[in-house]
Structure 1
């Protein structure tokens, strides 16, 4: 093989490796319910199932979640909300929910990410959930 052909093959292999895209792989490490200070009006009853650690369970809302309540994220880089979206009281379920973070690459760092979601009214906590995720890079 000539030297020129080796150069062409080298350039093609470098160009091909540059096309490899990076994405994130997410594993839910833990999910913990947060109880209210005086009473728990928002119950997050979730558990992790199987090797894939899929999220299963229910969210029970005992009162309408309206603009009187603040939903906030603490210990996280997710933007904080100052207004709650209106959700009617009732029981809501999640079955085999998998967190996919392919488009999070530009927003977050690798490693452990902890997110605490709490529902408050007048600085009193009425329930919430504490989620720990492990983010690692996968090659596509």
Structure 2
């Protein structure tokens, strides 16, 4: 389940670009952990390392993330002085991780114990992420340039956040 959720987050970020050699330069600017609305069941402890801005940290699940939860992604583009929201369809966690997070954020060789997705449940426990370099070369070319904020959360079926993270990046065209 969690896998699907993570994939949805990544899919949102990449939905606007077709695959291919990237002419984009993307810099991860900041990452912030988001607490749950009533209770926090998914504890994201991420940070960015060094000038390469590598993603590092852990995800601790206090319960099994199963069909009672969904992965949700909201992408905000900073346009004309305001944040403009784009929603991505909510997905079951296994689908989210497999089709979004693993595809766009965590390459197959990433140092993580996060399952590849497809499972109906992301088991209670701790998942690590070590020095992950987000692969921007498969992001769509028509993604907006400028500041982008992605809020990735796990939600109950009632829509209440039980944990998540906010990832901010700056997208520009590569200099020749």
TM-score bin (small chain): 0.7 to 0.9
Note the residue ranges of structure 2 that are not aligned, 5 or more in a row: 1-20, 77-85, 95-120
Q: TM-score, normalised by structure 2?
A: 0.62
Matches within 5 A, 1:1-140: 23-76=23-76, 77=86, 79-85=88-94, 86-121=121-156, 122-138=158-174
SS at match of 1:102: helix
* Matched positions, count: 120
Structure 1: unaligned runs, 5 residues or longer: 1-20
RMSD (Å), alpha carbons: 1.9
The structure that is helix-richer by fraction is: 2
Could you tell me whether the CA contact under 8 Å between 2:24 and 2:172 is conserved in 1?
A: yes
Query: More relative contact order in 1 or in 2 (CA 8 Å, sep 6+)?
Result: 2
What per-residue deviation string (whole Å, max 9, x for no partner) do you get for residues 27-58 of structure 1? 11110010011211001101111111111110
TM-score, length-scaled by structure 1:
0.77
Q: Distance in 2 between matches of 1:130 and 1:38?
A: 18
**Aligned partners of 2:22 and 2:139 also within 8 Å:** no
Q: Please identify, of 103-112 and 61-70, the stretch whose mean Cα deviation from structure 2 is larger.
A: 103-112
Who wins on radius of gyration, i.e. which is larger?
A: 1
4+ aligned runs moved over 6 Å, structure 1: none
Would you say the 8 A contact 1:23–1:103 is kept in 2?
no
**How far apart are the structure 2 equivalents of 1:119 and 1:22?**
30
